[in-house]
Chain A
Amino acid sequence: MTIVSTADLLAILPELLVMAGGCLVLVLDPLTAKDRKDWLAYFSLAVLGAAFVVGYWFMGALTGSPRPAFSGLYVLDAYGAFWKLLLILVSGLVILLAKAHLKLEEIDLPEFYAFILLSLSGMMVMVSGTDLLVIYLGLELMSLSLYVMAGFKRYAPRSLEAAAKYFILGSFSSGILLYGISLLFGRTGSTTLAGIRDGIAGLPPGDPILLMAMGLLVVGFGFKVAAVPFHMWTPDVYEGSPTSVTAYMAVASKAASFAAFLRVFLEALGGIKESWRMLLVAVCIATMVLGNVVAIVQTNIKRMLAYSSIAHAGYALIGLVVADAAGTASVMLYLAIYAFMNLGAFAVVTMLRRGGLEGDEIDDFTGLARRNKWAALVMLLFMFSLAGIPPTAGFIAKFYIFMAAVGANMTGLAVIAVVFAAISAYFYLRVVMVMYMKEPGETAGTPGYDVRVVASPAAIAVLLVAALGVLILGVFPDPLIQAAQSAILPLK
């Protein structure tokens, strides 16, 4: 018996490509001349392109039954392929964004691309693992890279503080998650998702240790997706980290965590659906309320977007709470669309410079429409999309997820979501208001106050992709919805 077959290795080909690419960047870094470091970014993009092509080919070849690999520790299915494609795309955009942004921040180190690739490979493992061990390893690989990236601007106190906070709270929460996994193993005798499902079926209903384990898992995954009350790290870390890292955390790490959250809870814990549903309804409502309400008083745009991302985690949780085919598809759709609009919003933030610093206060956007109408226009688009206003994609995402709730007779949850989505318009609109309806310089007066927009071709490309994504997915969302629907988890 061979331990690892060629088929197994083929199954993780995209992951292997990305991992090898990450390691190669680290190796190539000292071998590259100082003025050629950009090539490492292009190299990373090429790696991602290759992984994307392979992943796409898998997705096409996978319509039908999922193929287990590594004796059931791993699976090659459309669900995983959907998330992988999304994550690869997002990583590519973040690399493009970072290429421009790191120069501005004077932290232009090629290790950054290596960390992105390694973190991405962790995420890819996370979304395809069918064993809690594999998922845990993927999650840690993702997180460890992110801890470092959060502190990437290592001479800036805020960045360091963000890294320290993220690291402490992140490892604390993964400790809790691991404890939950150990209890789950104890009660069901397995760490594979299928084994756990079978084990739960043999347990009496309402087994306290099982429920405890479930609660611990909710904490662990809730932390990663920034659900209230496990969200506390989010605003500080988002604010302190370099903005391109923040964008990556807010989009990719959240998407990957949701993917694993969904897979674990639906595949392994599907048997005690009613129990975790109740917990998650409470978490979901708290998340929507807190995220939207606290965002109102923020003055720093990254912090505002952090609370916004908390609120969006709340909306996406609705899909998990619904826990049926429509719910799963709606989460996938939501995070895919969310990726475009949030990445776009952060990309605009990276382009704004005040003096030698980043213009990350909402006041820095004052009169942006007069300084740079394109930047203002795309920011307006992203803000409207985040607020869920048609015809942007954000509306489709919200509409679809709320519809899933209504379809599952959870109208109450939909009502709360709709009301808080309405409140959210207020703080997104404030950004639009200062951009379009105030003159630049109204808040000037402090010396050295000169906000300017630094547009590099790479950042423009990111903005273009994000803006077109938001618009096209708003007007022609059908292909994406079809893709999400054909890639849902087989529900048991």
Chain B
Amino acid sequence: MFDLIVTLIPVFPLLAVLANGLNVMLGHRYSHEIAHRLAWGSVLLSFLCSVWVLGQTLGHPEPRTVVAYRWFFGADLTVNLSFLIDPLTCIMLLVVTGVGFLIHVYSVGYMHGEEGFTRFFAYMNLFMVSMLLLVMGSNYVVLFIGWEGVGLCSYLLIGYYYDRVSAAKAATKAFVVNRIGDAGFLLAIFLVFANFGTLEYTEIFARAGQLDSAAAFSIAICLLIGAVGKSAQLPLHTWLPDAMEGPTPVSALIHAATMVTAGVYMVVRNHAIYDLAPDALLIVGVVGGVTALFAATIGLVQTDIKRVLAYSTVSQLGFMFLACGVGAYVAAIFHLVTHAFFKALLFLSAGSVIHALSGEQDIRRMGGLWSKIPKTHGVFLVGTAAIAGFPFLSGWWSKDEILGHAFVHGHYVLWALGATAAFCTAFYMSRLLYVTFYGESRVAHEVEHHIHESPNVMVYPLLVLAFLSVVGGLIGVIPGGLENGWFHQFLQPVVRSAGAGGEAAHEEGHLLVYILMAVTTLIGVAGWFTAHYFYKLKPEQPDLLMNRMKGAYTLILNKYWVDEAYDKAFVEPGKAVGRSFDKADTAGIDRVVVAVEQVTDLSAAGSTWVEKHVIYGGLNVTGYANHLAARVLRRLQSGLVHHYAAILVAGLVVLVNLIVLFLWLGGAS
């Protein structure tokens, strides 16, 4: 029974892929209605099965392996198509199928009337199958199949709008950059096999201790290369912002909630190896911390609503890597879960905005939308608050936990990187909110007439995600208190199996943790306030950003909001002090805020420059070198027979020389 249901989880979407795929190929024998019902229905069934599996796992946290069939079998290697069910898998299953289901439902409305409606759902379900294999696989090969499969679907879906040249380019870029990471991952698999002679997780992690530190380090680094490619970390992050060429539900599902978090899942899954290689773990943390800040600063200056969110995703994934790097694996997965909620919410509501504005994505041509699409505004606000770290929302819990771990474990630099990134996050998200929804409308006239709230089929998933974004963090605190919630208790057996790492930060003392929480909260609110200041209070400020923000007049209506944020941020003693502070020392705050702004602006410009010249440049040089090599090498192919014969003879001469060299070396030794 258990085995059957576990096996059915990826089978349902697979059946839907076959049905919808055949329907497309055979010329649409049934309507869109049936196609989308099949698509989301299959994911719903998978979700229900996942819930059942979770129920079964609650009592039995020890890993259970379900073998679907023997996939291939060699002299010294057997690879099964098999699934591993443990708490980590359960959590991932719920996230993938749950969020996946909501996004499928949303897509029914969003993709309505598109020419490739059925094709889109076939790809989406194919993605679900791959992602499920990825998180359920009980060995590296199944993981790799899923890993490549999600990359493939991502490629197909980014290139979904085939009439855009940029989409095709973005798709190819995403795939090729991912392949670089995949090569690293494949190498890691080979190294694991060379060291353990098997590829099954349970056997490997049980014997991980026998690994010498050099081998552990090289495996860990190769895995990291794979994870960096898939999760769009520095320096392989460039594909993700471009991937926004795909339809918005794709961005939400693949490029925010699930696929890009696969790298984090993989690192956590392999924590037994990482624990043996502290240096590699540190590199994970540094990559994460630097990426978090780097991407966040770029997010400050983006003007495309989806690109802001894309950089935000890169940055948030950086947080998760940072968490892994400091050994806080549970916190990483916790953030993965909450991020899936609020980032899916943000992307989908951004999609709702784009939908309302007939495809407009530039926030400079938005503004004042809050009254026109109130439901979208409401959920976007919730999402922003959650990601910015508004107290008691999901993002607040998980981000605080990561930063707390970083600090408590003595990684002060990483903590500082994370904290600064958190500030930027709060800033750019608030900016996005203000520029999109508040102020005067800058929407083009011909578009303005058509602004409409999205249909219910799109709004309901948003409401569910908004609810989850608000309360989702509570699983991390109830019932055991801070960092000892159900989530932590449930996952503890997975990360504890290694022995090292994973002790909760709160053991170091509650006071410090509370102080850190307060500090990060303040940082978040400071970010918010900075945005508020620039986009609401002082729009006339002669600043680079100010020029773009002509329409952002202060609205009395929003005063209440501002006050509350302001109060919470700067006024611990009370409202009165806060008000006087505001009035008396505006100039002082001005200076601070301007300085902060200049620094962030500078660093944003710096990061953008680095990205443009160093990273793109680097990738281009590699590509160019390849092309150059290809051009030079093809010149050998002169088309003339005697040249070919000469090269053949030259090859023979080289071989003979090698033989002579070999003989000589053999004689010498």
Contact = CB atoms under 8 A, between A and B. Distances in A.
Interface residues of A, number: 80
A411 B74 contact: no
B75 A206 contact: no
A358 to B, nearest CB: 20
B648 A422 contact: no
Interface residues of B, number: 67
For the residues of B in contact with A, the DSSP-based class is helix
Interface stretch (B178-186, B332-340, B352-360, B474-482): B178-186
Nearest to B144: A390
Contacts of A438: 162, 165, 168
A430 to B, nearest CB: 7
B610 interface: no
A374 B27 CA distance: 11
A169 B72 contact: no
B149 interface: yes
Contacts of A296: 626-627, 630
B70 A478 contact: yes
A429 B175 contact: yes
Interface string B626-665: 1101110110110101011101101110111011001100
B33 interface: no
B163 A439 contact: yes
Contacts of B211: none
B75 A326 contact: yes
A152 interface: no
B294 to A, nearest CB: 25
Interface in B104-147: 141, 144-145
B572 interface: no
B168 A326 contact: no
Contact of B159 (A329, A406, A437): A437
Contact of A229 (B24, B171, B648): B648
Interface stretch (A22-30, A68-76, A208-216, A249-257): A208-216
A181 to B, nearest CB: 15
Contacts of B77: 403, 407
A195 interface: no
For the residues of A in contact with B, the DSSP-based class is helix
Given A229-B654, A425-B176, A478 B71 contact: yes
Most buried by A among B149, B176, B179: B179
Interface string A215-245: 1101100110000111011011000000000
Contact of B25 (A212, A377, A429): A377
Contacts of B654: 229, 282
Given A278-B662, A414-B190, A293 B644 contact: no
Contacts of B74: 326, 329, 400, 403, 481, 485
A390 B182 contact: no
B250 to A, nearest CB: 15
Contacts of B416: none
Contacts of B629: 293
Contacts of A377: 25
A232 B659 contact: no
Interface stretch (A102-110, A119-127, A347-355, A391-399): A391-399
Contacts of B94: none
B611 interface: no
Interface in A418-437: 418-419, 421-423, 425-426, 429-430, 433, 436-437
Contacts of B171: 433, 437
B466 interface: no
A165 B634 contact: no
B633 A293 contact: yes
Contacts of A172: 645, 648
27 contacts: A165-B644, A168-B645, A169-B644, A172-B648, A206-B663, A211-B662, A219-B651, A229-B647, A229-B648, A232-B647, A232-B648, A278-B658, A279-B659, A283-B655, A293-B630, A295-B630, A297-B631, A326-B76, A384-B152, A389-B152, A402-B190, A418-B187, A429-B176, A436-B156, A436-B159, A437-B159, A438-B165
